[in-house]
Structure 1
Amino acid sequence: MLEREAELAELSALAERARAGRGAVAVIEGPPGIGRTAMLDHLAQTTGMRVLRAQGSLPEREFGLGLVRQLLEPVLATADTRERARLLTGSAELALRALDPRAVTPEGDFAALHGLFWLLANLAEREPVLLLVDDVDWADRASLGWLAYVARRLRELAVLVVLGRRGGAFRDDPAFVAARTLSLRPLSETAVRDIVGESDEAFAKECHRATGGNPQMLDRLLESLARHGAREADSVAWYASRALSEVIRYRLAELPPRCLEMARTLAIASDALEMDSVEARQAAHLLAESGLTTGGAAPRFVHEFTAETVLAGMSADEVEKAHAEAAKHLYDKDSEAEKIAKHLLETAPGDEVWRVIVLAQAARTALSREDAVKAGELVCRALREHPADPRDLLDMLAATTPWFDARRVADTLTEVAAGIDPHQDPELYAQAYSVLAQAVSHGGRPVEAHEILERAAIRVRGRDCALVLTAQRLALSTANLATWNPRADWETVPMGDTPGERALLAIRAFLSAARGDIGEGVHLANLTLDRGVASDHTIFPAATAAAGALLYCDRVPEAIRVLETLPRGLPTVVLLTDAYLRHGELAKAAALAESMLELAPTPLLRRNDPLLIAGLVDAYVLCGDYDRAERALARYPMYDGDHGWNRARFLLSQGKLRIAGGRVAEGTAALLEAGRRMVAWGWDNPAMGNWRSLAATGVYALGDHARARALAGEEVEIARASGLRRSLGVSLRVAGAITPGAAGLKLAREAVDLLEGLELAHALIDLGTAEHMAGAVSRARTALRQGAELAERCGAGPLARRGHAELRRAGGRPRGGYLTGARALTASERRVALLARQGHTNRQIAGRLQVAVRTVEIHLTSVYRKLGITARTDLATALR
Structure 2
Amino acid sequence: MVIIVTVLERAAELDALASMVRESLGGGRAVAVVEGPAGVGKSALLAWAAQHGHDQGLTVLQASCCAEERGLPFGAVRQLLEPAVLAAGPDERASLLSGVAECCRRVFEPDADHVRISTDPSPTSFPQIHALFMLALRLAERAPLLLLIDDVHDADPLSRQWLTYLARRLPSSRISLGVAHRMGANSAEDTLVAELRTQPGCRWLRPSPLSPRGAADWLEDALGTELEPEVHSLCRRATGGNPYVLGALADDLLRSGIPVVRAELLRLEALIARSLMHHLPVLMRRHSPSVLKVAATVAVLKRVRDMALLSDVVRLDQVAVAGAVTVLEHAGLFEPGPPWQLPHPLVAEALLAQVGEAVGKQLRAQAASSLVALGGSDTEVGDLLLATEPEGLPWRVQVLRAAAQQAMDRFDMRTAREYLARALREPPAEADRAQILARLRITEVHTNPAAADRLRTAVAEEAEPAERARLVPHLAGALTRTGHAEEAIGLLDAFAAEIPEADQESLYRLWAQGILLLLEQSPMLADMWITRGSIGQGLNGHTPGQRFLLATLALQTTLTGRGSHTAVILAEHALGRFDPPTDPMLTGAFAIMALLHADRLKEAARWYKELIANGLERQPPLLRSLVLSQRAKLAFRLGDLHSALELGREAVTLASADQRYRPYAAAQVVHALLELGDIPEATRVCRSAFEEPVGNHWSWTPLLASRAQLRLVQGQHEAALGDLEECGRRQVAGGYDNPAMAPWRSQAALIHGHFGDLATGTRLAREELELARKWGSPRTMAASLRVLGMLTTGPSALEALSEAVTLLETTQARTDLAHAVTDLGQALYEAGQTEPARARLRQALALAEASCAQPLAERAFQALLATGARPRRKRQSGIHALTDRERRIAVLAAEGMTNQQIAAELFIARRTVEFHLTRVYRKLGVDGRANLAETMTEPEQPLPQNSPAPLLP
Q: CA deviation at 1:678?
A: 3.7
Q: How many Å separate the matches in 2 of 1:198 and 1:505?
A: 71
Counterpart check, 1:603 vs 2:621: yes
Counterpart check, 1:387 vs 2:408: no
Q: How many Å separate the matches in 2 of 1:262 and 1:657?
A: 51
Of residues 561, 576, 579 in structure 1, which corresponds to 2:591? 576
- Which structure 2 residues correspond to residues 70-109 of structure 1 after superposition, within 5 A? 104-105=122-123, 107=125, 109=126
| Aligned counterpart, 1:198 | 224
Of residues 804, 810, 814 in structure 2, which corresponds to 1:793? 810
Of residues 119, 138, 141 in structure 1, which corresponds to 2:154? 138
State the one-letter code of the partner of 1:315: G
| Aligned counterpart, 1:348 | 388
- Percent of pairs with identical residues: 23
- Which structure 2 residues correspond to residues 415-430 of structure 1 after superposition, within 5 A? none
Q: CA deviation at 1:240?
A: 6.5
State the one-letter code of the partner of 1:562: L
**Contact 2:564/2:776 (<8 A) preserved:** no
Q: CA deviation at 1:630?
A: 1.7
Of residues 714, 727, 730 in structure 2, which corresponds to 1:677? 730
SS in 2 for 1:645: coil
Counterpart check, 1:313 vs 2:354: yes
State the one-letter code of the partner of 2:672: R
State the one-letter code of the partner of 2:224: E
**Contact 1:132/1:163 (<8 A) preserved:** yes
**Contact 2:31/2:196 (<8 A) preserved:** no
State the one-letter code of the partner of 1:227: R
Of residues 228, 232, 257 in structure 2, which corresponds to 1:229? 257
Distance verdict in 2 for CA 1:139–1:306, change over 3 Å: farther
Q: How many Å separate the matches in 1 of 2:696 and 2:589?
A: 18
State the one-letter code of the partner of 1:142: L
Q: CA deviation at 1:675?
A: 2.8
**Contact 2:405/2:416 (<8 A) preserved:** no
Q: CA deviation at 1:515?
A: 1.9
- Provide TM-score, normalisation by structure 2: 0.54
- Provide TM-score, normalisation by structure 1: 0.58
Query: What do the CA deviations read for 1:58-116 (whole angstroms, capped 9, x no partner)?
Result: 3554665566789999999xxxxxxx999999888867888986764454x43x55777
Q: CA deviation at 1:604?
A: 1.9
Q: How many Å separate the matches in 2 of 1:802 and 1:290?
A: 62
Distance verdict in 2 for CA 1:101–1:423, change over 3 Å: closer
Distance verdict in 2 for CA 1:530–1:658, change over 3 Å: farther
- Which structure 2 residues correspond to residues 633-782 of structure 1 after superposition, within 5 A? 637=689, 639-640=692-693, 642-648=695-701, 650-651=703-704, 669-681=722-734, 704=757, 730-731=770-771
Of residues 455, 459, 464 in structure 2, which corresponds to 1:462? 464
Distance verdict in 2 for CA 1:177–1:854, change over 3 Å: closer
Q: How many Å separate the matches in 2 of 1:840 and 1:10?
A: 52
| Aligned counterpart, 1:368 | none
Query: What do the CA deviations read for 1:749-780 (whole angstroms, capped 9, x no partner)?
Result: xx79x96866788999999999x99x9x9xx9
Q: How many Å separate the matches in 2 of 1:642 and 1:456?
A: 28
| Aligned counterpart, 2:530 | 521
Of residues 386, 392, 410 in structure 2, which corresponds to 1:399? 410
Q: How many Å separate the matches in 1 of 2:75 and 2:369?
A: 44
Q: How many Å separate the matches in 2 of 1:854 and 1:73?
A: 68
Counterpart check, 1:631 vs 2:641: no
Counterpart check, 1:563 vs 2:571: yes
- Which structure 2 residues correspond to residues 429-440 of structure 1 after superposition, within 5 A? 434=442, 436-438=444-446, 440=447
**Contact 1:570/1:608 (<8 A) preserved:** no
Query: What do the CA deviations read for 1:347-404 (whole angstroms, capped 9, x no partner)?
Result: 5278899x99xxxxxxxxxxxxxxxxxxxxxxxxxxx7533863x8525434243xxx
Query: What do the CA deviations read for 1:774-811 (whole angstroms, capped 9, x no partner)?
Result: x9x9xx99999998655532357366898998999899
Gaps of 5+ in 2: 8-13, 36-40, 86-92, 109-117, 183-188, 645-666, 675-681, 848-883, 918-934, 944-948
| Aligned counterpart, 1:79 | none
Distance verdict in 2 for CA 1:475–1:216, change over 3 Å: closer
| Aligned counterpart, 1:585 | 600
- Relative to structure 2, which stretch is displaced further, 625-634 or 549-558? 625-634
Q: How many Å separate the matches in 2 of 1:89 and 1:2?
A: 40
Q: How many residues align?
A: 763
**Contact 2:368/2:381 (<8 A) preserved:** yes
| Aligned counterpart, 1:718 | none
Query: What do the CA deviations read for 1:539-579 (whole angstroms, capped 9, x no partner)?
Result: xx544333444554736444423323344766545643553
Q: How many Å separate the matches in 1 of 2:248 and 2:760?
A: 76
Q: How many Å separate the matches in 2 of 1:136 and 1:622?
A: 64
State the one-letter code of the partner of 2:355: M
Distance verdict in 2 for CA 1:261–1:425, change over 3 Å: closer
Q: How many Å separate the matches in 1 of 2:720 and 2:749?
A: 11
State the one-letter code of the partner of 2:456: E
Q: How many Å separate the matches in 2 of 1:532 and 1:675?
A: 35
- Which structure 2 residues correspond to residues 362-511 of structure 1 after superposition, within 5 A? 385-387=397-399, 390=402, 394-401=405-412, 407-413=414-420, 434=442, 436-438=444-446, 440=447, 445-448=448-451, 450-463=452-465, 465-466=467-468, 469-475=471-477, 477-478=479-480, 484=486, 488-489=490-491, 497=501, 498-506=504-512
State the one-letter code of the partner of 1:501: L
State the one-letter code of the partner of 2:445: A
Q: CA deviation at 1:631?
A: 0.9
Q: How many Å separate the matches in 2 of 1:609 and 1:175?
A: 58
- Relative to structure 2, which stretch is displaced further, 453-462 or 489-498? 489-498
Query: What do the CA deviations read for 1:162-216 (whole angstroms, capped 9, x no partner)?
Result: 9875469746769998999999999999997997583657799899979999998
**Contact 2:69/2:156 (<8 A) preserved:** yes
Distance verdict in 2 for CA 1:413–1:766, change over 3 Å: same
**Contact 1:594/1:616 (<8 A) preserved:** no
Q: How many Å separate the matches in 2 of 1:858 and 1:213?
A: 37
- Which structure 2 residues correspond to residues 805-824 of structure 1 after superposition, within 5 A? none
SS in 2 for 1:515: helix
Distance verdict in 2 for CA 1:589–1:436, change over 3 Å: farther
| Aligned counterpart, 2:870 | none
| Aligned counterpart, 1:534 | 543
Q: CA deviation at 1:461?
A: 1.4
SS in 2 for 1:484: helix
- Relative to structure 2, which stretch is displaced further, 801-810 or 427-436? 801-810
State the one-letter code of the partner of 2:398: H
**Contact 1:651/1:671 (<8 A) preserved:** yes
CA RMSD, 1 decimal = 8.0
**Contact 1:616/1:629 (<8 A) preserved:** no
Of residues 31, 34, 37 in structure 1, which corresponds to 2:44? 34
Gaps of 5+ in 1: 77-83, 357-383, 716-726, 734-750, 861-869
Q: How many Å separate the matches in 2 of 1:72 and 1:764?
A: 96
Query: What do the CA deviations read for 1:642-689 (whole angstroms, capped 9, x no partner)?
Result: 324332355467779999999986665444312322455566799998
| Aligned counterpart, 1:745 | none
State the one-letter code of the partner of 1:466: R
Query: What do the CA deviations read for 1:787-841 (whole angstroms, capped 9, x no partner)?
Result: 8655532357366898998999899x99x99x99xxx9xxxx99x9999899695
SS in 2 for 1:554: coil
Distance verdict in 2 for CA 1:705–1:470, change over 3 Å: farther
